[in-house]
């Protein structure tokens, strides 16, 4: 009896000693994974994506300054390319459009559409001095990506450097500076070293976060954002010009970049699901789903891939032409995106409700 008691006490002591040296006791491995996802989402996706937007917006601003100083077609092409590169980074972040980007209207400030040529021409014809502060005070459809697009691409994407007026140069300089300033504010709003630090609201979800009282709140917000951008692409960005048979309602009508916009929106959904950006990845919602329901994870990844690859049906045709000449293909693309949306809203939302218990 004495020997057994000594052994029992010894085991208790060893367990206690092990715990005191940092041994992890994980009675709920799923909860641990959820916490890792909360850490890795901002570290591997949100912050790198936002920083990429800012960096590329800075390159675009500098390219525009070079174009203004030396208006050659080569410099115009460099500015147009910089616009498309910045645009790609921005559109991909719309897969997780929550937090400061909505709270402080960064999204509409940078990316309101459709824009109206008559209104843009009205700004250029006005006596408004068009400094950065003047641009900041304009309606959202008169600044941001699409006002820049109008100046550097022109109607039909046919703009030549020699056609850019002095007034347009002034407008362009302030537009690109204003947009860059907004991207910087967006970066700072998530930056752990800045006062906003929305990253902390994510990483502390369920543990004192002012935004996400529970971990489930975060995951429901994330899934909701992924579904929302599906709806925006299929039922707004694509549907409105398609239903009206009016290409002037396209998102990026001057640059003919709308198909790239839509594709990058859907790629952003995959990035959000996988917690990845530009090759850097971490623990993800996909990992959590796969650990409990591998068939659902496979279904989601397959539908995400299909919703991206289906754009190849257009075979390089611009969306401005597709709404007239490829109506059946437009409908097929919308169907693939709507299928993904339904799976996100139904299956993935149910998974979150069922499996995240905090």
Please give the structure tokens belonging to residue 88: 């790609």
Mean pLDDT calculated for residue range 232-258: 98
Residue 5 lies in a domain: no
* Number of domains within the chain: 1
Cα dist. 29→218, 273, 294, 358 in Å?
18, 19, 16, 13
CB atoms within 10 A of CB 329: 17
DSSP assignment letter at 70: S
Within a domain: residue 1? no
Q: Hey, is 281 helix, strand or coil?
A: strand
pLDDT of residue 7 exceeding 80: no
Whether residue 2 lies inside any domain: the answer is no
| pLDDT over threshold 70, residue 73 | yes
Q: Report how far Cα 131 is from the mean position of its chain's Cα atoms.
A: 29
Query: What is the tens place of the pLDDT at every residue in 327-347?
Result: 999 999 999 999 999 999 999
**Using one digit for the tens of pLDDT, what is the confidence trace for 52-67?**
999 999 999 999 999 9
DSSP designation for 249: G
Helix H or strand E encompassing 276: strand 276-277
Confidence band for 6, pLDDT divided at 50, 70 and 90:
very low
What is the distance between the alpha carbons of residues 293 and 300, in angstroms, rounded to a whole number? 11
CATH number at residue 99: 1.20.1420.20
What is the domain range of residue 78? 29-355
Residue 222's nearest CA partner among 100, 343, 349 is 349
Residue closest to 293 by CA, chosen among 30, 100, 28? 30
CA–CA–CA angle 47, 51, 53 (5° rounding): 120
């Amino acid at each position: 009896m004495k020997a057994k008691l000594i052994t029992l006490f010894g085991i208790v002591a060893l367990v206690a000693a092990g715990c005191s040296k940092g041994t992890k006791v994980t009675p709920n491995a799923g909860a641990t994974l959820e916490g890792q996802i909360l850490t890795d989402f901002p570290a591997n996706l949100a912050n790198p994506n936002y920083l990429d937007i800012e960096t590329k917006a800075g390159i675009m601003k500098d390219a525009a300054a070079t174009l203004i100083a030396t208006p050659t077609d080569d410099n115009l092409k460099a500015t147009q390319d910089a616009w498309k590169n910045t645009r790609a980074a921005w559109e991909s972040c719309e897969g997780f459009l929550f937090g400061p980007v909505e709270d402080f209207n960064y999204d509409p400030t940078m990316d309101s559409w459709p824009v109206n040529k008559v209104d843009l021409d009205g700004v250029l014809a006005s006596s408004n001095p068009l400094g950065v502060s003047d641009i900041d005070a304009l309606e959202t459809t008169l600044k941001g990506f699409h006002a820049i697009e109008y100046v550097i691409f022109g109607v039909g994407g046919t703009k030549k450097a020699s056609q850019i007026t002095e007034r347009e140069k002034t407008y362009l300089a302030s537009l690109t500076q204003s947009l860059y300033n907004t991207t910087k504010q967006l970066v700072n709003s998530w930056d752990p070293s800045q006062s906003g630090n929305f990253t902390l609201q994510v990483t502390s979800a369920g543990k004192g976060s002012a935004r996400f009282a529970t971990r489930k709140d975060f995951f429901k917000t994330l899934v909701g954002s992924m579904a929302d951008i599906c709806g925006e692409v299929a039922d707004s960005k694509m549907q409105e010009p398609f239903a009206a048979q009016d290409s002037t309602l396209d998102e990026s009508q001057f640059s003919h970049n709308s198909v790239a916009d839509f594709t990058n929106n859907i790629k952003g959904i995959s990035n959000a699901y996988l917690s990845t950006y530009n090759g850097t990845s971490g623990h993800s919602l996909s990992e959590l789903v796969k650990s409990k329901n591998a068939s659902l994870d496979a279904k989601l990844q397959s539908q995400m891939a299909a919703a991206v690859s289906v754009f190849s049906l257009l075979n390089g045709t611009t969306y401005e032409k597709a709404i007239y000449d490829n109506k059946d293909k437009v409908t097929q693309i919308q169907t693939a995106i709507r299928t993904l949306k339904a799976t996100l809203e139904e299956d993935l939302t149910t998974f979150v409700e069922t499996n995240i218990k905090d």
